């Protein structure tokens, strides 16, 4: 269903070139939950962002349902992206909008009628277990509830694919498990394929049926969790298996807090 073929991406900053992705290839089947794991700076975000062409690769192809995304016009891409939901570490909700209105946003942008919006948003709030929070504002919600709103919003256009960029990194372990359970339900009940990136082995163990390990822009290994775990030869993979949480280096934490993460929805209104 998704074929990532020989993707490379180089960033240029202060006259220096940095290869964030180097000839990465990965196939993802319909209905799969695939986890991409790697240390900070390995290229995980860049990889996930190339899937819907938020980041354009320098070379390689992204084939989704037979369409080569790298060949689509901006207008065609905008249309295709409606069917790909995305959720982020910091939820990216609009603080001036209620829970209902945050979830309704993609439907409004797609010119649905008021009745259609009401029906769909109520359905989505039920799926994520927030029916009683429709009129609340994000500031009164817990981190887990905010991520549930973001998930409901990501499901608004009935996507076939959900991209999760460190979706549980800002949550405590119990809330993390409840969000992962929700992702499993969505995968099973709605048949949505999920591609998630994480630096936490625990997330991979809880929810993914396939894993790809990325390091310094290269794909080191891919397979089922047991296949990856049985790979005793690669030292990077062994480091992951032996550690539950890959902590972010201090300088990257600071960078992430300073830089807005651009995606389908702005961080600031």
| Cβ 214 to ligand ADP shortest distance, Å | 7
Quick one: angle between helices 99-109 and 143-154, nearest 10?
A: 20
Tell me the window of 41-49, 122-130, 154-162, 239-247 that interacts with ligand ADP (CB under 6 A).
41-49
Nearer to ligand ADP, 131 or 262 (CB): 262
Q: Indicate the DSSP class of residue 138.
A: G
Interatomic CA distance for residues 217 and 19, integer angstroms: 7
Nearer to ligand ADP, 102 or 169 (CB): 169
Given 2, 28, 35, 38, the residue binding ligand ADP (CB under 6 A): 38
Contact string (CB under 6 A) for ligand ADP, positions 108-137, x = contact = ------------------------------
Nearer to ligand ADP, 134 or 267 (CB): 267
Which 42-101 positions form the footprint of ligand ADP (CB under 6 A)?
42-46
Interatomic CA distance for residues 259 and 240, integer angstroms: 27
| Cβ 171 to ligand ADP shortest distance, Å | 18
Tell me the window of 26-34, 38-46, 108-116, 169-177 that interacts with ligand ADP (CB under 6 A).
38-46
Which 198-237 positions form the footprint of ligand ADP (CB under 6 A)?
none
Nearer to ligand ADP, 45 or 187 (CB): 45
Nearer to ligand ADP, 161 or 196 (CB): 196
Given 40, 98, 177, 209, the residue binding ligand ADP (CB under 6 A): 40
Residue with tokens 């209105």: 101
Nearer to ligand ADP, 52 or 145 (CB): 52
Residue 138 interacting with ligand ADP (CB under 6 A): no
Contact string (CB under 6 A) for ligand ADP, positions 18-37, x = contact = x-x-----------------
3-state secondary structure the chain: CEEEEEEEEEEEECCEEEEEEEEEEEEECCCCEEEEECCCCCCHHHHHHHHCCCCCCCEEEEEECCEEHHHCCHHHHHHHHCCEEEEECCCCCCCCCCHHHHHHHHHHHCCCCHHHHHHHHHHHHHHCCCHHHCCCCHHHCCHHHHHHHHHHHHCCCCCCEEEEECCCCCCCHHHHHHHHHHHHHHHHHHCCEEEEEECEHHHHHHHCCEEEEEECCEEEEEECHHHHHCCCCCHHHHHHHHCCECCCCHHHHHHHHHCCCCCCCCCCC
Residue with tokens 């902590």: 247
| Cβ 11 to ligand ADP shortest distance, Å | 3
- Is there a contact between 77 and 85 (Cβ–Cβ < 8 Å)? no
Given 6, 11, 227, 266, the residue binding ligand ADP (CB under 6 A): 11
Nearer to ligand ADP, 113 or 250 (CB): 250
Chain residues that interact with ligand ADP, rule: CB under 6 A: 11, 13, 18, 20, 38, 40-46
């Amino acid at each position: 269903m998704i074929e990532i073929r020989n993707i490379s991406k180089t960033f240029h900053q202060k006259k220096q070139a940095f290869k964030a992705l180097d000839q990465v290839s990965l196939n993802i089947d319909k209905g799969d939950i695939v986890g991409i794991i790697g240390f900070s700076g390995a290229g995980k975000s860049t990889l996930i962002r190339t899937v819907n062409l938020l980041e354009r690769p320098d070379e390689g192809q992204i084939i989704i349902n037979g369409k080569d995304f790298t060949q689509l016009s901006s207008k065609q891409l905008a249309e295709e992206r409606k069917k790909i939901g995305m959720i982020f570490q910091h939820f990216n909700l609009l603080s001036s909008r209620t829970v209902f209105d945050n979830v309704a946003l993609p439907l409004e942008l797609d010119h649905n009628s008021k009745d259609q919006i009401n029906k769909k948003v109520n359905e989505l709030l039920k799926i994520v277990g927030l029916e009683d929070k429709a009129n609340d504002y994000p500031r009164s919600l817990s981190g887990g509830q905010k991520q549930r709103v973001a998930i409901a919003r990501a499901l608004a256009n009935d996507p076939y694919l959900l991209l999760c960029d460190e979706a549980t990194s800002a949550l405590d372990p119990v809330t993390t498990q409840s969000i992962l359970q929700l992702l499993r339900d969505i995968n099973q009940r709605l048949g949505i394929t999920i591609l998630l990136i994480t630096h936490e082995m625990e997330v991979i163990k809880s929810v993914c049926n396939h894993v790809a390990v990325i390091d310094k822009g290269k794909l080191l290994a891919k397979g089922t969790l047991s296949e990856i775990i049985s790979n005793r030869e690669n030292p990077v993979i062994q480091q992951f298996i032996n550690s539950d949480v890959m902590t972010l280096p201090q300088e990257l934490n600071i960078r992430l807090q300073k830089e807005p993460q651009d995606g389908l929805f702005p961080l600031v209104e």
